[in-house]
Amino acid sequence: MNGLFITIEGPDGAGKTSVINELYPRLQLIAKKGIVKTREPGGAKIAEKIRQIILDPKNEEMDERTEALLYAASRRQHLVEVILPALEAGKIVICDRFVDSSLAYQGAGRRIGMPEIRKINDFAIEGIKPEFTLYLDVDSDTGLKRIENQRKGPADRLETESLEFHQRVRHAYLKLAEEDPVRIHKVDARMPLTDVVDASFTAITEAYPQFF
Ligand code: TYD
């Protein structure tokens, strides 16, 4: 693959969306072969439809393995339609969430177990993995308070989970970051937004100078 696949991960309330919204235009100005910003679940027509089913708070009866399979299905479609063509064209892809989200939320949060989640995702991604992952770390209390304060519409099905659920998600992320320090770059997301964006920008541009 010619391009550079970057993912951004973090628990709810880490500020991923705000960070990407500031980081992306800065990277766009200097990316030699272009950069594509996308997100999961969603990022393509079929994948966005699956997103609506997964996040709809009315879908109370959803089985947790169904949920995990839907995330993997949405990921597959998004990978084929959006991520792979951009990487093949030599672009940088910056994706809001990927397999690590499923490992943390479904594997640990829902307690399905990371090995089971890895298996279904291996089927979905066929070996395509991010080269670099920015992990925005925030404790669950701070994260959940931020979501409460910033919420515009109703909470989605994942946000309404308990504090314990969100703590399991965060611990799983910390474990993943500890196990793979080369790929996963941890940033303290309790810092002011501009500091988080600066730290993220520096980490990416210093790791891959050939793309900028
Ligand atoms: P979204 O509104 O995109 O939240 P955020 O801005 O925090 O990324 O909703 C995505 C939700 O889906 C979020 O709570 C995390 C969850 N999720 C999973 O549980 N598993 C996954 O594989 C992915 C991609 C997301």
The 10s digit of each residue's pLDDT in 84-126 is 999 999 999 999 999 999 999 999 999 999 999 999 999 999 9
Domain-by-domain residue ranges, the chain? 4-207
Q: How far is CA 120 from the centre of its chain?
A: 17
Asked if residue 15 belongs to a known ligand binding site, the reply is yes
Nearest atom in ligand 1 to 159's CA = 14
Evaluate if residue 1 carries a pLDDT over 80: no
pLDDT at 151: 81
Is 121 close to ligand 1, i.e. is its CB under 6 Å away?
Answer: no
As assigned by CATH, the class of the 4-207 domain is alpha beta
Is 41 close to ligand 1, i.e. is its CB under 6 Å away?
Answer: yes
For the chain, the straight-line distance linking the first and the last C-alpha, in angstroms and rounded, comes to: 17
pLDDT at 188: 98
pLDDT in tens, 167-181: 999 999 999 999 999
Q: Rounded to the nearest 5 degrees, what angle is found at the Cα of 118, between the Cα atoms of 17 and 116? A: 120
pLDDT at 158: 80
pLDDT at 92: 98
pLDDT in tens, 15-62: 999 999 999 999 999 999 999 999 998 888 999 999 999 999 999 999
Distance 143 CA to ligand 1 centre (A): 14
pLDDT in tens, 151-205: 888 888 888 889 999 999 999 999 999 999 999 999 999 999 999 999 999 999 9
Is 9 close to ligand 1, i.e. is its CB under 6 Å away?
Answer: no
Q: What is the mean pLDDT of the chain?
A: 96
Probe residue for ligand 1, chosen from 101, 140, 142, 159 as the CB with the greatest number of ligand atoms within 8 Å = 101
Note the pTM of the prediction, 2 decimals: 0.95
Evaluate if residue 82 carries a pLDDT over 90: yes
Is 105 close to ligand 1, i.e. is its CB under 6 Å away?
Answer: yes
Distance 36 CA to ligand 1 centre (A): 19
